[in-house]
């Protein structure tokens, strides 16, 4: 078994995530279920700056198998600035 089995996400996972477009929204119900499958969205995000920050943090957490706690610890200071 490769050493990176639980330290790096499979290419299929990161490729799927990276291929999604992004759309800010006011409410998660603004999009049909199919839209969530093809676009990254965060309800009540103020716009693309916040959406970019959150998407970058999610991508890092997915790619590096971060725990939810580590994800929050990394994202919180970014959102506070």
Q: Where are the domains of the chain?
A: 11-80
Which band of pLDDT confidence, cut at 50, 70 and 90, is reported for residue 3?
low
For the chain, give the percent of residues with pLDDT over 70. Answer: 89
DSSP codes joined into one string, the chain: --TTTTTS--HHHHHHHHH-EE--BSSGGGS-HHHHHHEE--BT--SHHHHHHHHHHHHHHHHTT--HHHHHHHHHHHHH-
26-50 tens-digit pLDDT: 787 877 777 877 887 777 776 668 8
Give the pLDDT confidence score for residue 32 in this predicted structure.
78
- Region 45-58: mean pLDDT is 83
- For the entire predicted model, the pTM comes to 0.67
Give the pLDDT confidence score for residue 47 in this predicted structure.
66
């Amino acid at each position: 078994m490769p050493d990176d089995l639980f330290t790096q996400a499979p290419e299929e996972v990161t490729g799927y995530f990276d291929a999604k477009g992004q759309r800010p929204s006011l409410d998660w119900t603004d999009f049909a279920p199919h839209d969530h499958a093809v676009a990254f969205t965060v309800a009540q995000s103020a716009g693309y700056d916040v959406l970019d920050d959150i998407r970058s943090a999610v991508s890092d957490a997915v790619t590096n198998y971060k725990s939810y706690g580590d994800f929050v610890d990394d994202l919180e200071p970014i959102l506070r600035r």
